[in-house]
Amino acid sequence: MFGIALFVDPATGNRRLIAGLSTAGALGALGVAAAYLFTFSGEAVHPFGDALVVDGMSLLFAVIVASVTAMVTLASYNYLAEHSYQAEYYALVLLAATGMTLMASANSLVTVFVALELASLPSYALVAFLKENKGSVEAGLKYFLVGALSSAIFAYGVSLVYAATGSLQLTAVQEAITGDFTGLLGMGVVMVVGGIAFKTASVPFHFWAPEAYEGAPAPISAFLSSASKAAGFVIAFRVFTEAFLRVGSGEFLVLGADWVLVFQILAVVTMTLGNLAAVTQDKVKRMLAYSSVGHAGYVLMSLAALSGGGASATAKIEAGQFVLAGGMMHLFVYGFMNTGAFLFIALAEYWDVGRTFEDFTGLGRQAPVASVAMTVFMFSLAGLPPFGGFLSKYLLFGAAVNSGFVWLAAVAIVNSAVSLYYYSKLVKALWFDERPADKKPLEISSRPVGLYAAVIFAAVVTTAMYGVFGPVSDAAVEAAAALL
Amino acid sequence: MNGTIEALIAVTLVGSLVVMAGSDRYAAKLATAFSLIPLVGSLGMWATYDATGNALLGGDTAFTSRETWLALGPLPDIEWFVGVDGISMPLVVLTTVLVTLALVSAWTPIDERQSQFYGLVLFLEAGLLGVFTALDFFVWFVFWEAVLVPMYILIGVWGGPRRKYAAIKMFVYTNVASLVMFVGYTALVFGLGDAVSTFALPETAQALVVDNVQPDELAFVGGETLKVAAFAALFAGFAVKVPVVPVHTWLPDAHVEAPTPVSVLLAGVLLKMGTYALLRFNFTMLPDVARANILIIAAFAVVSIIYGAMLALAQTDLKRIVAYSSVSSMGYVILGLAAYTLYGVGGATFQMISHGLISGLMFMAVGVIYNTTHTRMVTDMSGMASKMPYTVGIFIAGAFGYMGLPLMSGFAAEFYVFLGAFQAGAFDVPNYDLLPAFTAVAMFGIVIVAGYLLFAMQRTLFGEYRLETDYEVGRAPLHDIAPLAVLLVLIIALGSQPDIFFEMIREASGPVADLVGGGA
């Protein structure tokens, strides 16, 4: 229903047509998903023998994926001006987006796996798309190898779960879990965690991320770090709450392994490692890549803080729903601010500005509009008001506190404070620093319309998030309520 | 919903965007013209102002809008809630007046990237107006932080030689402080649990002060401890903004590096955010914690007054002198608040306005001198009075205001504060009997102020003209002098007729004073 299909002759040389059609396709999907989301009755649809489910959460993530895709395809029009194989590029992006949308709807471990691969395989090719560029090819290879490994781990985990329960459909798995085969099931659950950690660029499967984001064409980095991450999390939210958690009696009964504890550890390690590594980077894209790892750590809190909550069972469940919604909202805002930040990098690559912080000095003078947008993204990612990132972080951290995880929120806040350092380092380079004498002067000859439009759109949404945050977060809370 | 305040903020925001998008050639005049709209608007608000009491303690606010904005599950509701009472109304007027004057004072010194500069100043104004009118903590915090971003860029781009260092220092200091304060306040609200379901300040104050609800235990922090911790976090957060010694060190750097119009707004309005917030949060919502720690707070105030003044005495840069004197002057505000009397709290508020005007005038005057001479060093100058009589005349008048010469606003403000602080000695509350002793020490501050100002003036302004510079030193253009003259008129008006503002301040301060000692 939300697969973004595009039928264009790949041999066509009409760049404008393919970019336009892709963007129009993504926008169409966005429109449809958003319309369904806001008119969603609360009754989930289960097509294909319950292998898929269309509910509030899948619609919300379809909105996120479609928005990011639209911005990425729009920006790619200029970015790819000099490259060949453009039709293939857009086709791969749309195919991956279809996979990610499917991930949001997957309701059985096998559909999860298929959707995961559908999203991953085009992504490998996209990362290596700049085939003249060593870094890009190497990044693609590394991404592919780690991806293949974690796919294998995930598939093995699924097979163990199947061995223990005899089902693959998520709710059926949950019902089939008995006291038997706990060891087998536990192994399976932990391996599924591994597969998710890969897709969301979380520790311990995060180390592909800086390489891949650094080497990939910048719009693809944006795509992977926003849409792909969101899709990875939607799987995590659905699989762990539907298959490995029992809330029937009003209590959280964590099934298989104590994965809530696993996520607590992963959340803390991921956010801390991501942020500390980002501090030491001198290349902007790598800094953003590590910051993306850090943000994965924040979102992991929504699974890590599930088991807390108030005194009564209902209060516990409500707190759990809310913390899940917090994670979803952070991904929603992140989809705009992080995509925007990477698209700004795409703009810089288009201008051949360079990669290090020093290369970016003085850009504020040369391209003030884009630099203002980037400043918005940086401050929003750091969680400063008046930008969207502050609101979503507040919701997520507040939800964790509401669940009784004050310590987790405290770690996250300290991490946020650390992140301000490296984000403001870029702002400083853009606006304050004088260009070193030995650097070649910036030559900004053109203003690519597509890239500019995408960046400005992202900045406007990031700032204007206060307007739509209310209704979307209501939808997120409802979506989470359907899970628990 | 009353749209007045929203219109004021919206106009400045739109103005900011228009100016930024426009060309450099018209930026200065366009921004100044835009700033006249909120100026006239705020004067109109003042003329039709009809609030009673204190906004947080059961009073009615004027120009109120209140709508639920974001209802986030079990977290407190976020409301779009704005309005003014007798404490915020004068500050709103001060903001609009000073922004317009600061914009005019920027005409001479700002000669590059003007559209961005003027646009950012208008953006700053929108943030400031929001801070002084928001009555929902969340909205208030958004505005509070929104002020920081333009300030950071204004200092970092248009500042002096060490502008990067100063901008980043300011940003890091105040931002960490904001974070601490935000965590402190939200922890307090979370701790109150079901007693408050919104971030609206009046409801929280009502629960804490009137209904005397004690916060629940939060994680490993007990209810009573939570209150003290929240007070400490809030105090720490605001103390940086005020600034209070020993967290004042960002201020002189920021001031010295900032261009004149930004210094004017920094000293004139931004510092008031800190004291305004102290009054609203610490002293209104947690009076019992304040009362229990009154000696520590008073000590901070007195140290700021005396140490700030002594630091000013040691400076040879005119701008640094004025910058450090701000540390000293803001100390009086804290002393007044600590007194918890009608004249203490009211005097503190009055001092915020008065200091806004006087420090604005001083920074502008130093700026005008610098524009023509390109130096601010006391040691370089002598006999400036013979070359630029009008500027120097106004400078001297402003300095007299700073020293607290009667019939000028500084005198009225400090008089109220000292009166209030002495009255507090009569409270039947532990430790308050020591407050007059603290006040007596603080009063030495006035002597030091007079000392460094007279000393600086004697060396720079009088005597034989001597200044080695390649620039031609002469009378400043009219548009440089005009804002100074306006400020001087306002300072004298407030000094000779304090009731222009003090009436409304008194009405809003009384309920705060009643919390501890009674509005004696």
Please choose, from the candidates B405, B407, B441, B404, the residue with its C-alpha nearest in 3D space to the C-alpha of residue B422. B441
Q: Are A390 and B142 an interchain contact pair (Cβ–Cβ within 8 Å)?
A: yes
Whether A424 contacts chain B with CB within 8 A: yes
Mean pLDDT by 10 residues, chain A (484 residues): 46 74 87 87 82 89 92 90 83 91 91 92 91 88 91 93 90 84 87 90 87 91 92 92 80 82 92 93 92 93 82 81 92 94 92 87 86 92 89 91 87 91 89 80 82 93 86 87 84
Q: Average pLDDT, stretch B300-305?
A: 93
Q: How far is A470 from chain B (nearest CA, A)?
A: 5
The one-character DSSP state at B230 is: H
Whether B171 contacts chain A with CB within 8 A: yes
pLDDT at residue B429 in the model: 81
Residues of A in contact with B146 (CB under 8 A): 385-386
Show the DSSP H helices in B374-477 as ranges.
Answer: 389-403, 409-424, 435-460
CA dihedral sign, ordered A22, A24, A25, A26 = positive
Q: What is the 3-state secondary structure (H, E, C) of B359-382?
A: HHHHHHHHHHHHHHHCCCECCCCC
Place of tokens 């970016």: A360
pLDDT at residue B296 in the model: 92
- Which range, of A287-296, A456-465, B168-177, B219-228, averages the lowest pLDDT? B219-228
Whether A399 contacts chain B with CB within 8 A: yes
**Residue of A317, A330, A384 to mutate, interface with B, max B Cβ within 10 Å:** A384
Burial of residue B520 (CB within 10 Å: 0-12, 13-18, 19+) is middle
Please choose, from the candidates B116, B117, B119, B148, the residue with its C-alpha nearest in 3D space to the C-alpha of residue B131. B148
Show the DSSP H helices in A432-464 as ranges.
Answer: 449-463
Whether B199 contacts chain A with CB within 8 A: no
User: Could you say which of B145, B157, B220 has the minimum Cβ distance to residue A386?
Assistant: B145
pLDDT at residue B517 in the model: 65
Residues of A in contact with B143 (CB under 8 A): 386
Is it the case that residue B519 has pLDDT exceeding 50?
no
Phi, psi (deg, nearest 5) at residue B134: -70, 135
Q: Searching chain A, which residue's CA lies closest to the CA of residue B156?
A: A432
Place of tokens 């405290």: A410
Q: Searching chain A, which residue's CA lies closest to the CA of residue B69?
A: A470
- Round to the nearest angstrom and report the end-to-end CA distance of chain A: 25
Segment 46-75 of chain A within 8 Å of chain B by CB:
none
Which tens digits make up the pLDDT trace of B34-88?
999 999 999 999 999 888 888 888 888 889 899 888 888 788 888 899 999 999 9
Q: How far is A100 from chain B (nearest CA, A)?
A: 28
Distances (CA, A) of A135 to A78, A232, A274, B371, B445: 21, 25, 22, 53, 65
Q: Is B360 left (phi over 0), alpha (psi -120 to 50) or beta?
A: alpha
The one-character DSSP state at A360 is: G
Whether A390 contacts chain B with CB within 8 A: yes
**Residue of A416, A427, A432 to mutate, interface with B, max B Cβ within 10 Å:** A432
Is it the case that residue B364 has pLDDT exceeding 70?
yes
pLDDT at residue A435 in the model: 81
Pairing of strands A253-254, B62-70: unpaired
Residues of B in contact with A433 (CB under 8 A): 164
Q: Are A386 and B70 an interchain contact pair (Cβ–Cβ within 8 Å)?
A: no
- Coil vs helix vs strand at B473: coil
CB A239 within 8 A of CB A192: yes
The one-character DSSP state at B433 is: G
Give the integer Cα–Cα distance in Å for A138 and A129. Answer: 11
Residues of B in contact with A390 (CB under 8 A): 142, 145
User: Could you say which of A375, A433, A469 has the minimum Cβ distance to residue B70?
Assistant: A469
Cβ partners under 8 Å of residue B319, min gap 6: B255, B256, B263, B363, B366, B370, B376
Q: Searching chain A, which residue's CA lies closest to the CA of residue B164?
A: A432
CA dihedral sign, ordered B14, B15, B18, B20 = negative
Is it the case that residue B454 has pLDDT exceeding 50?
yes
Place of tokens 């607290």: B404
Q: Searching chain B, which residue's CA lies closest to the CA of residue A323?
A: B73
Chains A, B: CB pairs < 8 Å: 81
Residues of A in contact with B190 (CB under 8 A): 398, 401-402
Which tens digits make up the pLDDT trace of B388-429?
888 888 989 999 988 888 889 989 999 999 999 998 888 888
Give the integer Cα–Cα distance in Å for B307 and A125. Answer: 65
Cβ partners under 8 Å of residue A229, min gap 6: A199, A200, A201, A292, A295, A296, A299, A331, A334
Distances (CA, A) of B257 to B156, B207, B325, B346, B365: 9, 44, 16, 33, 16
CB B396 within 8 A of CB B429: no
Q: How far is A427 from chain B (nearest CA, A)?
A: 9
- The overall average pLDDT reported for chain B is 88
- Round to the nearest angstrom and report the end-to-end CA distance of chain B: 36
Contacts 24+ apart (CB under 8 A), B65-72: B65/B1, B65/B2, B65/B3, B65/B5, B65/B6, B66/B1, B66/B135, B66/B200, B67/B1, B69/A466, B69/A470, B69/B139, B70/A391, B70/A466, B70/A469, B70/A470, B70/A473, B71/A470, B71/A474, B72/A395, B72/A398, B72/A473
Give the integer Cα–Cα distance in Å for A467 and B42. Answer: 26
Residues of A in contact with B150 (CB under 8 A): none
Task: Name the amino acid, one letter, at A18.
Answer: I
Please choose, from the candidates A335, A93, A113, the residue with its C-alpha nearest in 3D space to the C-alpha of residue A230. A335
Cβ partners under 8 Å of residue B320, min gap 6: B252, B255, B256, B312
pLDDT at residue B219 in the model: 65
Strand partners, A254: A245
Give the integer Cα–Cα distance in Å for A195 and A248. Answer: 27
Q: Are B145 and A399 an interchain contact pair (Cβ–Cβ within 8 Å)?
A: no
CB A210 within 8 A of CB A142: no
Phi, psi (deg, nearest 5) at residue B165: -60, -45
Whether B186 contacts chain A with CB within 8 A: yes
Please choose, from the candidates B279, B281, B282, B290, the residue with its C-alpha nearest in 3D space to the C-alpha of residue B201. B281
User: Could you say which of A325, A406, A466 has the minimum Cβ distance to residue B73?
Assistant: A325
Whether B141 contacts chain A with CB within 8 A: yes
Give the integer Cα–Cα distance in Å for B54 and B46. Answer: 16
Helix (H) or strand (E) run with residue B44 in it: helix B24-47
User: Could you say which of A385, A402, A424 has the minimum Cβ distance to residue B74?
Assistant: A402
The structure's pTM equals 0.90
Q: What is the largest CA-CA distance in chain A?
A: 70
CB B361 within 8 A of CB B453: no
pLDDT at residue A1 in the model: 40
CB A237 within 8 A of CB A302: yes
CB B140 within 8 A of CB B100: no
Whether B13 contacts chain A with CB within 8 A: no
**Residue of A332, A361, A394 to mutate, interface with B, max B Cβ within 10 Å:** A394
The string over A470-480, giving b where at least 16 C-beta atoms fall within 10 Å of a residue's C-beta and e elsewhere, is: bebbbbbbbbb
